[in-house]
Structure 1
Amino acid sequence: MPAPGLFRSLLADTTPLEHPYFRRLWTANIVTVIGAQLNIIVVPLQIYDITGSSAYVGLTGAFGLVPLIIFGLYGGALSDRMDRTKLLRITTVGMIVTAVAFWAQAASGLDNVWLLLSVFAVQQAFFAVNQPTRTAVIARIVPLGKVGAATSLNMTVTQAGAIIGPILGGLLAPVTGYAWLYLIDAICLLSTLWAVWRLPAMPPVDVASPTSGTDAATTTGGVRSVLDGFVYLWAMPLLLMSFLVDIIAMAFGMPRALIPEISTVDFGESGDGGLFYALLMAAMPAGAVLGGVFSGAVTRARRQGLGIVVSVICWGAAIIVMGLAVTFADGKAGLWAWIAVLSFLVGGAADMFSSVQRNAMLQEAADDRMRGRLQGVFLIVVAGGPRLADMLHGWIGSWIGAGPATAVGGVLVIVGVCGAVAVVPAFLRYVPARFAVVDDTGRN
């Protein structure tokens, strides 16, 4: 039997919850993520219901990616120039308004895919400013050495909501319709609004800009502020490598846009939801929750670069198995369907391990005066990668089928990450500064 101490070391580190501001945000997030995931599942389901086309579902990638890039970059710069608490309040209200707009278009029965996509784009703009700001706040409300643990706790809750939301959405959508699920999202967001309203003021850190020597708190910002962030990032190639690895993993390996087609065509379910639609939408976050619960060793790992690469390769392998299972299902929700769900679950755990280590690497390596801007870039990579995948998978899946498109994507993940590491082998040796203690021989 493993020693109790060894088992405890594998469990998530919960000490960040001792800090009241983080605890309040984390607790509110438990409620908010359920509504957010209902929104995530209902938007593609409604689009597929209106159009019957995975290509149209894939358009959510384009309508989400453009505002993410524009407002993710500018929002990150904005969070380094103004009070982050105030910015969180403004953008949280904006997300509540767009959730109400989703409800209104569904309740009216318009069935206009372009209106739906437009509301989605506005929602993503608010999200793109809110998310890097919220992430940059973590290092201000918990000790720096606990950033990785706090990130893991946040991601675990987010992914737990991503289990409950899809199951509820997939099962309730045929019964309640789409409007009620959008309305629940709007109501759930009120908990986050309460939490951010209780945060203290967080004005910019009064330090010199690394590129201009001017006061970062009083700089005019705009495009110049965004460019300062890229200059800062360009001087840190290992952080750039962490972004590249994630883009490879998500762009090629995330078959989210194909799930409506997999459920309907490959598993033989109706076009308005069903058991396997819900299970496929919930499988990846379920795996991520398991990964988060047992993330203790990951958040304490020394070789973060190696850990990221191994996790991404495991993700690619799981997606290959999922694609093969979908291909062999042949229109029946039998054993192969369960194998596809299980494979996606395993992939979710691998992705969780990768995400926690990448986020901790970025937060710990960045200076606070640049943290918002780097989180803006991080958001574009993390959220933009899957949206790029939506476009790629939606197009390729409509051409060669959902199963083959998924399997080929998994192969490209493994080939891509191995190629990237071959070009930058130093990434495998990356060790966080808190572990980089040099001994008498000059070795780490």
Structure 2
Amino acid sequence: MDRRPLAIPAYRRLWIASVIAAVGGSFSALAVPTQLFTLTGSSAAVGVSAVVSLVALVVSALCGGVLADAMDRRWLLVAANGALALTYAGLWVQAALDLRSVLVLLALVACQGLSYGAIMAAMGAAVPRVVPADLLAAANGLSSLVRYSGSVVGPLLAGALIPVVGLDTLYLSDTLALLVVAWSVFRLPPLPPQPPAPAPTPVSPVGRPFSVGRSVAARRSMLGQLLDGFRYLFSRRLLVALIGVDLAAMVFGAPWALYPELAQREFEGPVGGGLQLGVLYASYPAGVFAVGLVSGVFTRARRHGALMASAALVWGATVVLLGLAPQLWLAAAALLAGGGVNFVLSTFRRSISQANTDDALRGRIEGSMTVVTVGGPQIANVVHGVAGAAWGARWAISVGGVLTILAVAGIIRAVPHLWEYDASQPAEPRPCSG
């Protein structure tokens, strides 16, 4: 691994906090759906909680991005992590008292989504303030490794511990872990808002000058500041291209919804799950983790754009291979490779975005990117579910992989700067004036 960013005390605190949150603070990811299903006996209730969490997270990521540009990001992170700790404390209390209230659970799920959205937006905006530009790729690689590892290890531990210690103990563990995270974030140096970098005011795509001066932004409503962020985003072809590649890879090339059908009908797995389904779900995160352990091989590279775009193209090819794989081991190999290239894609996508965004708007851009990252897989579940029902799992997966390749190739052709982007060269002019 490229461990250079860990030599920076502020980043090291952030990273250790993320490790604690990813494992010790992620038990509720499995505990909440388990409790809801136990209370209602209905998967529909679990689905409703997912929708509630998603809506809350999207709203919070966008609003949290505005706040991250208007206040000290350290205090925003402390407040958001503190709110998440209070949410987990609420989950612990309701489980310990055996309230058995679905409405209370859903309200706490909404609070969880609100806290997570603000944390994601603020964290993405805070990292470039504590890590120099030449270490952004390494820092994002370390953060991605923790995030993906925690999403696997946390639920696995929770599944093993639920019958032993009960749901209330898991919620209490999450609460204590988030209190430790809040303390770690509190010890960061101040991260106050910075004025926009001085630069000539360009003309936006709609022909009007674009400006987000701090004194002007301070007098505007949250909606107005949010719109400033969107105007900034869509005035930057490179940032739009990043979103396009990310959406193409996730919407066309994320066939998670078809795994149960693929496992049962194509690889002769038992109804309701089994080894085949487990192999399909485990192979992708295993690939992410494996490449994350050797991230130092590529994080020192400078051609971030070519690496990101190439990773997206290879991801499309692995999805095609998954759809055509006649045997389970070949499908697992395709997903293992796909997880690895997606680690590369996400690492450089975030690094390019952070390096090419004025710090005065970085929170809002990170909030927008969070919406894409979270919303893309949800759209993919709908698209692949409908396509799988119409054409069958193999055809839907294979066509999705081909569409990913074609879409990414089209974006590279339309925005050649994405492929040519070199992290050692100055960022493109910032469309933002003081």
Q: TM class, shorter-chain normalised?
A: 0.7 to 0.9
What is aligned with 1:295? 295
What is aligned with 2:174? 185
What is aligned with 1:314? 314
Structural mapping, 1:153-232, within 5 Å: 153-169=142-158, 181-207=170-196, 211-215=211-215, 218-232=218-232
Structure 2: distance between partners of 1:64 and 1:173:
22
What is aligned with 1:358? 349
| Structure 1 counterpart of 2:66, one-letter code | A
Contact 1:34 1:161 in 2 (8 A): yes
Identity rate, percent: 37
- Could you tell me how far 1:408 is from its partner in structure 2? 4.0
Structure 1 counterpart of 2:132, from 143, 146, 164: 143
What is aligned with 2:206? none
Q: Establish whether residue 31 from structure 1 lines up as the match of residue 28 from structure 2.
A: no
| Structure 2 counterpart of 1:137, one-letter code | A
Contact 2:17 2:185 in 1 (8 A): no
| Structure 2 counterpart of 1:311, one-letter code | A
Q: Establish whether residue 369 from structure 1 lines up as the match of residue 355 from structure 2.
A: no
Structure 1: distance between partners of 2:299 and 2:32:
34
Structure 2: distance between partners of 1:176 and 1:270:
30
SS, match of residue 288 in structure 2: helix
What is aligned with 2:380? 389
For the aligned residue pairs, the C-alpha RMSD in angstroms reads 3.6
- Could you tell me how far 1:349 is from its partner in structure 2? 0.8
Structural mapping, 1:228-243, within 5 Å: 228-243=228-243
Q: Establish whether residue 435 from structure 1 lines up as the match of residue 418 from structure 2.
A: no
Give a deviation string over 1:369-398, Cα, whole Å, max 9, x none.
111111111111122212322343455556
What is aligned with 1:421? 412
Aligned residues: 413
- Could you tell me how far 1:32 is from its partner in structure 2? 1.6
Contact 1:229 1:374 in 2 (8 A): yes
Gaps of 5+ in 2: 199-209, 428-434
Structure 2: distance between partners of 1:37 and 1:388:
24
Structure 2: distance between partners of 1:176 and 1:320:
43
Structure 2: distance between partners of 1:410 and 1:296:
28
SS, match of residue 80 in structure 1: helix
| Structure 2 counterpart of 1:357, one-letter code | F
Q: Establish whether residue 343 from structure 1 lines up as the match of residue 334 from structure 2.
A: yes
SS, match of residue 298 in structure 2: helix
Give a deviation string over 1:395-438, Cα, whole Å, max 9, x none.
55566666654444333322322233343334222223x3369x
Structure 2: distance between partners of 1:97 and 1:115:
14
| Structure 1 counterpart of 2:309, one-letter code | V
Give a deviation string over 1:274-322, Cα, whole Å, max 9, x none.
6666654443332222222322343233332222121112222223333
What is aligned with 1:4? none
| Structure 2 counterpart of 1:72, one-letter code | A
- Could you tell me how far 1:365 is from its partner in structure 2? 1.2
Contact 1:58 1:395 in 2 (8 A): no
Structure 1: distance between partners of 2:241 and 2:377:
18
Structure 2: distance between partners of 1:18 and 1:255:
39
Distance 1:264 1:34, change over 3 A: farther
TM-score, normalised by the number of residues in structure 2:
0.81
TM-score, normalised by the number of residues in structure 1:
0.79
Structure 2: distance between partners of 1:90 and 1:144:
27
- Could you tell me how far 1:198 is from its partner in structure 2? 1.2
